């Protein structure tokens, strides 16, 4: 996947207005369906979690086979495996993003039928398998009420042969990719600082799989020190406005609530650019 320049992120993720869960669907910024080099750090880590704890990171149901075969055909040369369930593991070992496979049920709703998720942001794949997108989103405050209809309509009418992309962001007290709830990693507290906080960016892709009535939902996670995205002019103000205007239940869901006031105070502290010798008042006067 393409590297992400951190200095572009504040403008991309934090709109000028108040916080709102955004739909933000757009044409892809990169080629999604290609392999990363096997020695890529994220792929190595993915391999580790798939071997160390496959039950936590892989889920498979019998309804998934045709969807997986159609998804596999998007890639240049997926190796032949003994079973479809093994093919999911092979795909996940070679492809950097997490992947979720959905399929229309007899009522026409998309249900999660399989997944390979090594880098979740504090959710558990095992609790989501078999559920509809609405049910999966039920724990996200306000999401179904504000965007549910639009999400359903979008997924229903996803044009074939095209990939769509959107972003999700979150903050964390650690730079680990795998934030599975079982790992009980440190959470943001009222001691958080801009220097010890990390941005988690989920680049998400959606692709219809029309022959199987399926849908591929991919999540490519990158993590960035928060300070590294706050350098451009205006970036601190943009983030401050998002945090200040975020409703408490959403800030609590995102794990930001305990740290919000402290981070806001730091964001509002005026940062003076380094003074040049001419403007410092100590430079020798010209004759």
Q: Which residues contact ligand HEM (rule: CB under 6 A)?
A: 21, 23, 100, 102, 112, 123, 128, 133, 136-137, 139-140, 143, 147, 151, 154, 168, 170, 217, 254
Alpha carbons 69 and 241: distance in angstroms, whole number = 45
**C-alpha 18, offset from chain centre:** 21
Q: Considering Cα of 16, then 19, then 25, then 30, what sign does the dihedral take?
A: positive
Q: Is the Cβ of residue 81 or residue 135 nearer to ligand HEM in the bound state?
A: 135
Question: What phi and psi values does residue 131 have, to the nearest 5 degrees?
Answer: -95, 160
Closest separation between CB of residue 107 and ligand HEM, Å?
A: 16
DSSP type of residue 118: S
| β-strand partners of 21 | none
Closest separation between CB of residue 204 and ligand HEM, Å?
A: 7
Q: Is the Cβ of residue 133 or residue 267 nearer to ligand HEM in the bound state?
A: 133
Q: Tell me if 120 sits within 8 A of 178, measured CB to CB.
A: yes
Q: Tell me if 221 sits within 8 A of 202, measured CB to CB.
A: yes
Closest separation between CB of residue 286 and ligand HEM, Å?
A: 56
Q: Is the Cβ of residue 87 or residue 215 nearer to ligand HEM in the bound state?
A: 215
Q: Which residues contact 40 (CB under 8 A, 6 or more apart)?
A: 96
Closest separation between CB of residue 151 and ligand HEM, Å?
A: 4
Tokens of 271: 């940062």
Closest separation between CB of residue 93 and ligand HEM, Å?
A: 21
Reported in sequence order, the residue ranges of the chain that DSSP labels E, i.e. its strands, are 58-60, 98-104, 110-116, 163-172, 198-209, 214-225
Closest separation between CB of residue 34 and ligand HEM, Å?
A: 22
Q: Is the Cβ of residue 23 or residue 268 nearer to ligand HEM in the bound state?
A: 23
Q: Is the Cβ of residue 78 or residue 151 nearer to ligand HEM in the bound state?
A: 151
Q: Is the Cβ of residue 136 or residue 267 nearer to ligand HEM in the bound state?
A: 136
Give me the residue whose beta carbon is nearest to ligand HEM. 123
Closest separation between CB of residue 7 and ligand HEM, Å?
A: 23
CA neighbours within 13 Å on the CB side: how many for 22?
18
Among 233, 235, 220, residue whose Cα is nearest residue 3: 220
Name the strand (E) or helix (H) holding 262: helix 257-268
């Amino acid at each position: 996947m393409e590297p992400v320049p951190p200095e572009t992120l504040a403008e991309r993720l934090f709109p000028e207005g108040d916080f709102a869960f955004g739909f933000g669907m757009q044409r892809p910024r990169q080629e999604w369906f290609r392999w990363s080099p096997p020695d890529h750090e994220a792929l190595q880590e993915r391999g580790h979690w798939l071997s160390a704890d496959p039950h936590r990171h892989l889920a498979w149901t019998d309804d998934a086979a045709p969807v997986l075969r159609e998804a596999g055909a998007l890639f240049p040369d997926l190796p032949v495996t003994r079973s479809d369930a093994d093919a999911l593991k092979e795909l996940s070992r070679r492809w950097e993003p997490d992947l979720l496979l959905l399929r229309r049920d007899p009522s026409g709703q998309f249900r999660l039928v399989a997944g390979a998720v090594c880098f979740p942001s504090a959710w558990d794949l095992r609790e989501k398998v078999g559920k509809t997108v609405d049910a999966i989103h039920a724990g996200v405050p306000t999401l179904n009420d504000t965007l549910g209809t639009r999400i359903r309509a979008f997924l229903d009418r996803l044009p074939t042969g095209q990939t769509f992309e959107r972003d999700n962001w979150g903050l964390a007290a650690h730079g680990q990719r795998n934030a599975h709830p079982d790992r009980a990693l440190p959470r943001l507290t009222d001691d958080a600082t801009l220097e010890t906080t990390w941005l988690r960016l989920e680049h998400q892709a959606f692709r219809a799989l029309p022959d199987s009535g399926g849908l591929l939902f991919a999540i490519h996670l990158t993590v960035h020190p928060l300070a590294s995205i706050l350098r451009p002019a205006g970036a601190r103000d943009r983030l401050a406005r998002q945090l200040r205007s975020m409703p408490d239940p959403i800030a609590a869901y995102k794990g930001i609530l305990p740290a919000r006031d402290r981070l806001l105070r730091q964001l509002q502290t005026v940062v003076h650019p380094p003074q040049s010798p001419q403007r410092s008042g100590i430079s020798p006067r010209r004759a």
